């Protein structure tokens, strides 16, 4: 998995703070000049008060590669975002490879013969699906039809843009221990990048347990400490 921030609103935190300050000023945001201390104070006040609409002025665009379509199917459920994904109609999937969950890897490397056998079942099924795909292509079936046999685990690449408000919501859900492992790994990598780029906005971002009580109906029992 590779996660990169390829674009971000220039001066994202300043822009959000200017927008917030403009709500209480007779002057347009374009005339407002704020120093670092003022930006920090304004944003922390807005976030603490739940006035998150001003955070929608900051956009972050990520390029994520070598993740499964299981992950991207979960990702696109976040409605307030824009997505551009590698097309299986126009890109040959012969050499794309596939994702193997850590639980399956553990089985394959177990000392128990039955577990090893179960571990191999996964790779056998994947190899069969990709071999079938290749045979369909070789027989003249177009990629857009041959792709029906491909598994959810095949690798894909995706570019997506979210504003800071949606990212805070995304991190609360997907950094949680109850989130699926692959998308949770991606979420933590994204959060590390966002904290570096916009440390005020994302200071307390992450699962709800970081900020206090877990909001999940069934807590995992292993809350994160404040970071």
Q: Looking at the annotation, which residues are catalytic?
A: 174
Answer whether 119's CB lies under 8 Å from 63's CB: no
* DSSP code at position 154: B
189 contacts: CB under 8 Å, gap ≥ 6? 1, 3
Q: Which helix (H) or strand (E) holds 167?
A: helix 164-174
Answer whether 90's CB lies under 8 Å from 45's CB: no
Cα separation values, 112 from 106, 117, 139, Å: 11, 9, 41
Q: Measured between alpha carbons, how far is 226 from 205 in angstroms, rounded to an integer?
A: 10
Q: Measured between alpha carbons, how far is 45 from 39 in angstroms, rounded to an integer?
A: 10
And the tokens for 95?
């050499």
Q: Measured between alpha carbons, how far is 19 from 121 in angstroms, rounded to an integer?
A: 55
And the tokens for 193?
């990048």
């Amino acid at each position: 998995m590779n996660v990169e921030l390829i674009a971000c609103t220039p001066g994202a935190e300043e822009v959000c703070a200017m927008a917030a300050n403009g709500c209480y000023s007779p002057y347009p945001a374009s005339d407002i000049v704020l120093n670092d201390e003022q930006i920090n104070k304004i944003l922390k006040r807005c976030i603490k008060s739940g006035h998150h609409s001003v955070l929608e002025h900051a956009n972050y665009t990520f390029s994520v590669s070598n993740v499964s379509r299981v992950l991207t199917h979960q990702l696109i459920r976040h409605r307030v975002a824009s997505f551009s994904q590698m097309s299986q109609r126009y890109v040959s999937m012969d050499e794309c490879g596939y994702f193997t969950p850590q639980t399956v890897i553990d089985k394959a490397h177990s000392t128990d013969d039955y577990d090893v056998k179960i571990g191999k079942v996964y790779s056998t099924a994947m190899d069969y699906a990709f071999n079938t795909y290749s045979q369909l292509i070789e027989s003249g079936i177009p990629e857009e039809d041959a792709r029906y046999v491909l598994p959810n685990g095949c690798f894909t690449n995706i570019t997506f843009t979210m504003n800071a408000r949606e990212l805070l919501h995304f991190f609360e859900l997907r950094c949680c221990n109850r989130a699926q492992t692959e998308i949770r790994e991606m979420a933590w990598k994204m959060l590390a990048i966002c904290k570096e780029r916009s440390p005020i906005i994302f200071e307390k971002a992450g699962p709800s347990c970081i900020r206090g009580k877990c909001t999940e109906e069934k807590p995992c029992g292993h809350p994160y400490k404040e970071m």
